[in-house]
Amino acid sequence: MRRAARAVNPAAAPRAGVRAVQRWQAFRVRQRELLDESNRLQSELWAQIHAGAPAATAPDTAPASGPAGREPSVGPAGRRGEETAGRSRQPMLWASPFSIGFTGALGVLLAWLLVQNLTRLSSVLTYLLVAVFLTLALNPLVEGLTRRGVSRPSSVFVVFMGFVTVVAVSAVTLLPGVVAQAVTLVERAPQVVEELAGSPWLVELDARYAVSERATTELDRLLTERGTWTTLFGGVLGAAGWVAGSLVGVLTSAILTLYLLATLPAVKDGAYRLVPASRRPGVVRLAEEIMRRVGGYALGQATVATINAVCSWLMMQVLGIPYAAILAVSVGLLGLIPLIGATLGAVIVALSALTASPTLALVVLVYYVIYQQLENYWIVPRIMKRTVSVPGAVTVVAVLAGGTLLGVLGALIAIPVAAGLLLVYEEVLIPRQEHL
């Protein structure tokens, strides 16, 4: 009865409510203390990560007045103000699980949309990439004229028109000979095949492995198949479309190159302003060095390929190898491809010389072995000495990755891109690790 009376006693209800409120207030105070402690620890950890050293703890000092070892008395209002100021200085490093999940899902969706649109814009990106590399290759010439007192627009006009003139003169000079030799090669194809079939070494090879019989059987099978002519007709139309697309791509890349050359300083300034002011000088220095190396590599690689083409043409003229002009152009274009370009050009010239005699093909191979040694140890070091320096293993991996992703264009730009990434590694990542 006493317990029941106490339970329904009206005087006990207010006291129970007061105790519940007090317990709730104590819980909230403890919760706030734990949250402040967690934020303080996270701030110290964040400071250690960015400063690279443990957070320094100020030594305990005694107050100027009052007994030693006793903290000065601070009123409730002052202590509450210190807690509020401390919480305002603490970074908010937490986020709700819903926000994290929503942000991750949104990022995945945007990445998928970006990949889908990039595949549709691959041709446009290719034109832009070619224009960027041409701009970086021609920009040192523009800056050289600018340092001599010529205005930027006049320098761009002179350099671009000079580049167009060189390309046009080369095309006018080489194109008639290349076309004439290509027509002659097509007309003499049956005769070349007969001469090649009558050579002693091929007769011996045919006697051992029945090459001609197998080739004739395979040719008859292809000619009698219905899909062969459809494929051939589609290939002709595809070749015509490829030529038209190539002309459009060349014109588009040339126009983009002209615009980029004219507006390159403004484009760079606009990009540099996106970087925080405290880090801007380092980013500017690093970006300028990358652009200088990429431009120097593009110009140097074109120079090396041109030297290879001219020397190959002179060699073929001396040895009397037919179709020297078209073969020299092929050697020059293939020479732009790192690692394997010069070797492919040498193989093509050697196969062309093989139609005349095996001895002539052997002489061509000996010439290219000697020339490549001269190119690797004398020509390239003098032209590329201040551009890129990439280890051999990185070069091979970069060329393979670039060729897999973007084909021939990817192989062409693989080495300068790898050189830029190595520069970022040396100038940014290593110093940051040294200061941690």
pLDDT digits (tens, 9 = 90+) for 216-263: 666 666 556 655 555 555 555 555 666 677 788 888 888 999 999 999
Domain boundary assignment for the chain = 122-274
The secondary element (H helix, E strand) that includes residue 108 is: helix 97-120
CB atoms within 10 A of CB 410: 19
| 301-339 pLDDT tens trace | 888 999 999 999 999 999 988 888 888 888 988 888 887
Which residue in 390, 155, 367 sits closest to 402, CA to CA? 390
Q: Which residues fall within 8 angstroms of residue 74, CB to CB, at 6 or more apart?
A: 82
Dmax (CA) for the chain in angstroms is: 128
Question: For the stretch 344-378, what's the b/e string if a residue is b when 16 or more beta carbons lie within 10 angstroms of its beta carbon?
Answer: bbbebbbebbbbbeeebbebbbebbeebeeebeee
What burial class does residue 304 get, using C-beta atoms within 10 Å of its C-beta: 0-12 exposed, 13-18 middle, 19+ buried?
A: buried
Supply the pTM of this predicted model.
0.60
Q: Is 407 exposed, middle or buried (0-12, 13-18, 19+ CB in 10 A)?
A: exposed
Phi-psi region of 390 (alpha: psi -120 to 50; beta: other; left: phi over 0): beta
Contact yes or no for 416/297 (Cβ under 8 A): yes
Q: Residue 228 belongs to what H/E stretch?
A: helix 226-272
Query: DSSP alpha helices (H): ranges in 121-225?
Result: 122-147, 152-187, 189-197, 200-209, 211-224
- Classify 307 as helix, strand or coil: helix
Buried b (16+ CB within 10 A) or exposed e, 54-86: eeeeeeeeeeeeeeeeeeeeeeeeeeeeeeeee
How do residues 150-197 score in pLDDT, each as one tens digit?
998 999 999 999 988 988 887 777 777 667 766 776 666 666 666 666
Q: Whole-angstrom Cα distance, residue 329 to residue 327?
A: 5
Task: Kindly report, residue by residue over 369-411, the tens digit of the pLDDT.
Answer: 999 999 888 888 888 766 667 777 788 888 888 888 877 778 8
The answer to whether 62 touches 68, Cβ cutoff 8 Å, is: yes
Per-residue pLDDT tens for 57-99?
Answer: 444 444 444 444 444 444 444 444 444 444 444 444 445 677 7
| Cα Rg of the chain (Å, integer) | 37
What single-letter DSSP state applies at residue 391?
-
CB 398 within 8 A of CB 114: no
